[in-house]
Structure 1
């Protein structure tokens, strides 16, 4: 593990220390990608990239940052009471501090106010015309929604067992897998239709649902998150067990791909690699009694990199302090070192003007 001395980081509001496996920079560089990591507890989105043989880190504060979605020219971040839209301004990236380090830059351009819907994962799909189409997991109302500039949200789909829309977090719908530009699978913690009903037996009732049919694909998971469709296969995080699992949609059978030292939540797949978010767990009404709870002093917070073909953990990034819980992990393909430009936290504002901003 590195002692963090080789880390290049833009300023963060509070000191955050990292450790990582010695070969993680090379692994990211060879894969040709960078990472985005969200932590709602610390209210940050972290860009993780490489510069030479070192990791780079860039921070942007979002109140209760949760799900993220990387589009061709935009980034969506679900936060408290709103969803932020950042636009790609990568032509500005080389000028961002440290100068010459970054090659990808997003700057906030708008947000849509949803109110408290406990938005979890978000994902870009496509409209019939081929335009970007954002899907949001509305956990508080137990449904999938879209957004517009007139409504708090636009309901699009809900599990068949949910009898009506109500702000009661009935089944704890939390994860969304996209396939061919549309929603394909979701995770719920229970097939419950009463307020907070998922809490009754959450370590055994976690379920993956097929969106098209509404049918159960597999069940019996402990607080599952982050279903993903990758290379023709379905994966899910059996979070309370600290497992990455592969699911056969036809039979519901699950195979363990990897065991991980943390509450697994947040999953990005790229080639033969899976980037898994790991969290320490607290003894609360949510995490109390989780199968991992007896091992809380051995759990890690950060990202584990799993080789899908072997199940081996081939790289790690660990938050040594300042961050306890990860929510989402996203891959940024074809990027070396991402940044978010200036922010209100460091006073280094960035303004973008049209090419001909002066009046004639």
Structure 2
């Protein structure tokens, strides 16, 4: 496994990666999208032949990402939820090379207010998201900032106080099932006092706490009939025995683990350097590692081996979410108005039969 230094065209958005990272993406026929709220960017990670292309788009404090098999994508930002749709016909207009196979165009921007939105997922009832500031799970409707649907039993009311730092969310069979939080506290910012070992993993459907004593847990995931979690404060990926609550670390990584998605036997895990601040002080990770890394690590969960990595340098220091885009190898995403948005029209199929296509030179 060798490393290639591939700086982005607009330094200091630099990255290095192992030579086999683009090979893996090409072989699997996938790409990745990553959010970094600290740098105010979403990053499309795509193989461009034998090299890895990191394509940055600007959003204000992007955190939660949600995608589905119907071409939908949602991104939670500082005070909004952006919803995108893949418009394959627009991809063919991007250039003459034919390498673009997806183009995500914005369809709706929903104003939530500053709710410190964390993980998100599409389910049977639409988009679910973690409202960390109000310590609850929410859905959306056109008339309200958010619709509270569930909160932990130990949080007594909805208040913009981040009482337990509810952060991670996993849906099973289209409905919320597992969440993580950094504490079981019921006071404003109360989780901060015992952040090193006060974290929990909880079952939403039963209101049972499955695991206590976690170090800043994030990103619960149900995959291959097993429950996975990132114990970020220790920098690991772990398995959870749902029946006993026993947690088994699978692999240790050189950063604050946050954001994960799976594809086949591979886990794509986000790593952050974590700042030397009050929020991250006193963690096992910061005490054990003086140098920590930001990027995406690829793990074979069957062999527990690190297969490849992408390491960000300079401006990008923290990752929040990582999502695999299956069957999409070279996507584009637009977050600002441009000529393609102005000239792309998506109509219902039944209306297309009555559309007349004509062109008048300007």
* Fold conserved between structures, TM > 0.5: yes
Task: Write the distance in 2 (CA, Å) between the matches of 1:297 and 1:95.
Answer: 47
Deviations 1:225-261 (A, max 9, x none): 0000001110000001000000011100111111111
The alpha-carbon deviation at position 295 of structure 1 amounts to 4.8
The structure 2 residue matched to 1:166, chosen from 159, 163, 170, is: 159
Match of 1:130 in 2: none
Q: Is the 8 A contact 2:58 2:335 kept in 1?
A: no
The 1:69/1:357 distance shift into structure 2, 3 A limit, reads farther
Q: Is the 8 A contact 1:56 1:337 kept in 2?
A: no
Q: Is the 8 A contact 1:34 1:336 kept in 2?
A: yes
What are structure 2's unaligned runs of at least 5 residues?
347-351
The structure 2 residue matched to 1:262, chosen from 252, 255, 258, is: 255
Deviations 1:273-300 (A, max 9, x none): 1110000011112111121113554211
Q: What SS does the corresponding residue of 2:329 show, helix, strand or coil?
A: coil
Q: What SS does the corresponding residue of 1:24 show, helix, strand or coil?
A: helix
Match of 2:145 in 1: 152
Q: What SS does the corresponding residue of 1:174 show, helix, strand or coil?
A: strand
Q: Taking structure 2 as the reference length, what is the TM-score of the superposition?
A: 0.91
Q: CA RMSD in A?
A: 2.1
**Counterparts in 2 of 1:302-341, with a 5 A limit?**
302-341=295-334
1:108 matched to 2:106? The reply is yes
Task: Write the distance in 2 (CA, Å) between the matches of 1:17 and 1:343.
Answer: 23
Q: What SS does the corresponding residue of 2:13 show, helix, strand or coil?
A: coil
Q: Taking structure 1 as the reference length, what is the TM-score of the superposition?
A: 0.92
Task: Write the distance in 2 (CA, Å) between the matches of 1:270 and 1:296.
Answer: 29
Task: Write the distance in 1 (CA, Å) between the matches of 2:133 and 2:292.
Answer: 28
Deviations 1:120-154 (A, max 9, x none): 01100013xxxxx1001000011000011111110
Q: What SS does the corresponding residue of 1:250 show, helix, strand or coil?
A: coil
The alpha-carbon deviation at position 114 of structure 1 amounts to 0.6
Match of 2:66 in 1: 69
Match of 2:345 in 1: 353
Match of 1:231 in 2: 224
The 1:208/1:357 distance shift into structure 2, 3 A limit, reads farther
Task: Write the distance in 1 (CA, Å) between the matches of 2:154 and 2:232.
Answer: 23
Task: Write the distance in 2 (CA, Å) between the matches of 1:204 and 1:341.
Answer: 40
The structure 2 residue matched to 1:78, chosen from 68, 72, 76, is: 76
Q: What SS does the corresponding residue of 1:63 show, helix, strand or coil?
A: coil
Q: Is the 8 A contact 1:247 1:254 kept in 2?
A: yes
What are structure 1's unaligned runs of at least 5 residues?
128-132
Q: What SS does the corresponding residue of 2:38 show, helix, strand or coil?
A: coil
The alpha-carbon deviation at position 353 of structure 1 amounts to 2.4
